[in-house]
Amino acid sequence: MWIYLAVGSSFLLYFVIAIVSRAGSTDDFYRAGGNIGPVANGMATAADWMSAASFISMAGLIAFLGYNASPYLMGWTGGFVLLALLLAPYLRKYGSFTVPAFIGERYYSNVARSVAILCLIIASTTYVIGQMKGVGVAFGRFLEVEFETGVFIGMAVVFVYSVLGGMKGITYTQIAQYVVLIFAFTVPAIFISIELTGIPLPQIGLGSTMSDGSGVYLLEKLNATISDLGFDRFTNPEHSTVNIFLLTLSLMIGTAGLPHVIIRFFTVRKVADARKSVGWALVFIAILYTTAPAVGAMARLNLMQTVQTGPVGEESSNLAYENRPRWFKTWENTGLLIFEDKNNDGLIQYYNDSNPAFAAEAERLGWAGNEMTTVDRDIMVLANPEIAQLPSWVIALVAAGGVAAALSTAAGLLLAISSAISHDLLKSMLMPNISEKAELRAGRIAMVGAILVAGYLGINPPGFAAEVVALAFGLAASSLFPVLLMGIFYKRMNREGAIAGMLAGLVATVGYIFVFKGMFFIPGTNLYPDTAEYWLLGVQPESFGAIGAAINFIVAFIVCAVTPAPSARVQQMVEDIRVPGALKNA
């Protein structure tokens, strides 16, 4: 009852906002009329950017990867520093509606604009897969429907408020969604931190001792619990330092190059507001991101202690399947948690059956393999309050927050795709004389098409939400960030260099992803297994965006050096972007 009330109320709020703030012009549809204040825009930006990957999947990553998930925290927040210093104020000062519009005009070429549209659509479509996966996970559990049905419901909700409202409706909806998601993330974390450590602040609770009087630190307890079952210690590094560095860098520059985040800074009144918006966005984002490590660690500890109720070596310590708690049963119904009784003893054995060092102990205990054959990482945040047996209203709040996080980012991404098609491709290139009314209609039709594609890919995702999102960041990092940076700070960069750089970075990154993830993420079409022994120099696909960006820069500079420089007018325009008071909308 609580779940239906919380989710239904939030939906009603989003629909009312969409109707009240319905876009009546292309200016409203693309940039909310350019009248959003910095605090409101910072909150909307935080919601736009803190997607299902942040709310649902990142803490799940931390729960299972521990230290190795730290690049997601550092990269996704550090990217906003780059955005504030290097891109946002200058792009706002230039005054374009979209990223491809700036690239097309700065590099005086419709070919450059077309390549930018291609890069935007590929990166944004990859990103939106993770959001639809998150929507399906949240709806699938809390409305107790099939995962696919959950995705269809999410598609319908996004359709109503994004197609009607455009950027104007999406902005005000995202402000409401931020409030919902931040309460939904922090309130359960406070409850669980008090339960485990006696400390209400999860950030402090993570480094504190357990409340059971043992004097053992929470992380020490977690390390011992999972190590006893053959898993790597929570605090142990797994990947190489180079790989960790490249993943962090890829996520940072990918954040700074994400089109759906950049277009948020076209909605403010002036350049100073663009800088302030980034600062406020960081404040709002930090509330969730400083809480996520505690949520991940506490969720993993709660899971292990629920399933493995005593020390390893005591067969009776395993949970009897027939006595499994309600949360276990409900998540089984979604297909995201699957149990198989391999030794027919009626008990649940959950351990790392790929660890040779634990094989002898498992054989002695009569364990025939890990029987929780599927534990989708994306369920951890949503299941955590249930595992900890928190009140029903807290569980309902988490449901509403998970849906809000996924829908807010999905709407921003779909708008970026729609704008690229209707404004950059149709209005600016194919049909320059199209009326504003027809352009607005085309934008809405394009968004409907994007929703359908996003829904299909969400039902057939290539991985868990954060993994897919990391690939999207790599694509944005390798294709759009370098050309935007050079467009602002290097006036000698010409269209030939920009086009060659974008294509080189995009092709290299997409090719590397396809080698290990498969063609269009279709299972079985990958050329090599996605494991460290096959990666080039130990670099995982999620980290390759930084290398793709380096390829982009190198190719662009080489081609630029052997081709004619831009005209004096273009070079002066680049100078004016960085000069206070110059250009329009300053």
Q: What is the pLDDT of residues 74-110, one digit of tens each?
A: 887 888 788 878 887 888 778 776 788 889 889 998 8
Res. 31: pLDDT tops 50: yes
What pLDDT, on the 0 to 100 scale, is given for residue 388? 83
Q: Which residue has the higher pLDDT, 327 or 126?
A: 327
Per mean pLDDT, which of 31-45, 49-63, 193-207 is the most reliable? 193-207
pTM score of the predicted model = 0.78
pLDDT confidence tier of residue 203, bands split at 50, 70 and 90: very high
For CA atoms 248, 253, 255, 259, give the dihedral sign. negative
Domain 2-298+386-577 part of CATH 3.40.50.410? no
pLDDT confidence tier of residue 523, bands split at 50, 70 and 90: low
Q: What 3-state DSSP class applies to 521?
A: helix
Please say whether the beta carbons of 34 and 266 come within 8 A.
yes
Q: Which residue has the higher pLDDT, 132 or 492?
A: 492
Res. 453: pLDDT tops 50: yes
If residue 399 lies in a helix (H) or strand (E), which one and from where to where? helix 392-419
Mean pLDDT of all residues in 431-443 = 80
Q: What 3-state DSSP class applies to 36?
A: strand
Residue 339 pairs in a beta bridge with 372
Please say whether the beta carbons of 108 and 439 come within 8 A.
no
What pLDDT, on the 0 to 100 scale, is given for residue 493? 94
How far, in Å, are 14, 180, 192, 267 from residue 42 at the CA level? 19, 15, 29, 11
Amino acid type, 185: F
Q: What 3-state DSSP class applies to 232?
A: coil
Res. 295: pLDDT tops 60: yes
What pLDDT, on the 0 to 100 scale, is given for residue 463? 53
Q: Which residue has the higher pLDDT, 416 or 291?
A: 291
Strands annotated E in 364-518: 372-375
Per mean pLDDT, which of 84-88, 143-147, 291-295 is the most reliable? 291-295
What pLDDT, on the 0 to 100 scale, is given for residue 464? 47
Res. 346: pLDDT tops 80: yes
Mean pLDDT of all residues in 515-522 = 68
Per mean pLDDT, which of 97-101, 146-150, 277-281, 501-505 is the most reliable? 501-505
Q: Which residue has the higher pLDDT, 157 or 178?
A: 178
In whole angstroms, what is the distance from residue 419 CA to residue 444 CA? 9
In whole angstroms, what is the distance from residue 57 CA to residue 290 CA? 15
Task: Determine the distance from the C-alpha atom of residue 176 to the mean position of all C-alpha atoms in its chain, rounded to a whole number.
Answer: 19
Res. 586: pLDDT tops 50: no
Of 42-46, 368-372, 468-472, which gets the smallest average pLDDT? 468-472
Picking from 375, 378, 384, 525, the residue whose alpha carbon sits closest to that of residue 458 is 378
pLDDT confidence tier of residue 578, bands split at 50, 70 and 90: confident
Amino acid type, 376: D
Of 217-221, 260-264, 441-445, 494-498, which gets the smallest average pLDDT? 260-264
Which pair of structure tokens corresponds to residue 380? 């951890």
